Amino acid sequence: MTRDTTATDFNTRLSAVADDIEAMLDRLLGTAALPGEITRPARLREAMRYATLGGGKRLRPFLLVETARLFGLEGDGPLRAGAALEMIHCYSLVHDDLPAMDDDALRRGRPTAHIAFDEATAILAGDGLLTYAFDVMADTPTHPDPLVRATLAVGLARASGLGGMAGGQALDLEAERATEPHKTETILQLQAMKTGALLLFGVEAGALMGGATDQQRDALGRYGRALGAAFQVADDILDTESDAATLGKAAGKDAGRNKATLVSSLGLAAAKTRRDALAAEAQAALDALDMGHKTAILAEAARFTVARKS
Ligand code: GRG
């Protein structure tokens, strides 16, 4: 196992990528209309900026940027793709927080978008971010090869739509209304869709943009799937063990809402065992890549995912 990247190196790098993503989002959400746009209404643009800027760990773009960097690709291309992925994530948070869904007042330590603005503006900000993500992903500066850009756009759609995040959210809401105990298999599938798919896409997109071989893409896919699953079980554990001040969002909501979580299905101790086994699986997938110290930052990302406090 390669362990020459420390947690401090990782945090420095995570924060550097977060700054670059923040700057890219700021640039993409500027006032000037793009060719084909007519004008950018101020209040909607402000709500889209509120939802995306000034918060968040930026873990999904980090995975994309660092996986591309593994293959020597840096610069605006991966940052644009990472910003597009973060737009999808932020739209999902805005819509998830709405009264019709989780009805939350706190996100990233601040009032949720529908409280800071109003419900209609929050819905439209989510819609605007969802569509703009595909604009950014498919536009020329993201990658010189049009086939890569088209594959990225299709991959993002599959990860975030009916058979991905949105589908997972629908299953999650259905599970809340279930009268029978949730089956572990059902929870695993729901979580792979709702949360895992976007994290996995970050890794897959970086590998595609960087020109990884099929074998490398397989190993990275295994890594991304394990990391995505570990992220969600860690989230389930944080909901039971942490508090709103640390999380920057409401805590302890899962139990009261009959949420389908691995803590409710397996119990806390077994959920922790599963989380740690998934982190080990992510490490094993990286070891199989056999790229030496180059994958140390991704290994640290998996450790961070399970050890995070928010
Ligand atoms: C509304 C289509 C639609 C989907 C919503 C992502 C999601 C699906 C719901 C969010 C609810 C939630 C808290 C899920 C748990 C996992 C998760 C996505 C946590 C938030 O992600 P982080 O920790 O957040 O990466 P930051 O703020 O750091 O970006």
Atom of ligand 1 nearest to the CA of 95: 1
Q: How distant is the alpha carbon of residue 150 from its chain centre?
A: 20
Burial degree of 284 (CB within 10 A; 0-12, 13-18, 19+): middle
Model confidence, pTM: 0.94
What's phi and psi for 2, nearest 5 deg? -95, 125
Domains of the chain, first to last: 3-307 (1.10.600.10)
pLDDT attached to residue 294 = 95
Distance (angstroms) between ligand 1 centre and the Cα of 9 equals 26
**Cβ 112 under 6 angstroms from ligand 1:** no
Distance (angstroms) between ligand 1 centre and the Cα of 92 equals 7
- 3-state class of 103 per DSSP? coil
**Cβ 289 under 6 angstroms from ligand 1:** no
pLDDT attached to residue 3 = 52
**Cβ 195 under 6 angstroms from ligand 1:** yes
Distance (angstroms) between ligand 1 centre and the Cα of 93 equals 5
pLDDT attached to residue 4 = 58
168's tokens: 């997972």
**Cβ 52 under 6 angstroms from ligand 1:** no
Q: Whose CA is nearest to atom 24 of ligand 1?
A: 56
**Cβ 95 under 6 angstroms from ligand 1:** yes
| CA atoms of 231 and 263, how far apart (whole Å) | 13
| H or E element, residue 107 | strand 106-107
**Cβ 235 under 6 angstroms from ligand 1:** yes
Give the model confidence (pLDDT) of 203-231 as tens digits. Answer: 999 999 999 999 999 999 999 999 999 99
CA Rg, the chain, in Å?
19
* Sequential DSSP letters for 153-180: HHHHHHHHSTTSHHHHHHHHHHHHT-SS
| Best of 96, 108, 231, 232 for a ligand 1 pocket test (most atoms within 8 Å of beta carbon) | 96
Atom of ligand 1 nearest to the CA of 59: 25
Residues of the chain with pLDDT under 50: 1-2
Q: Whose CA is nearest to atom 23 of ligand 1?
A: 310
Residue 196 DSSP symbol: I
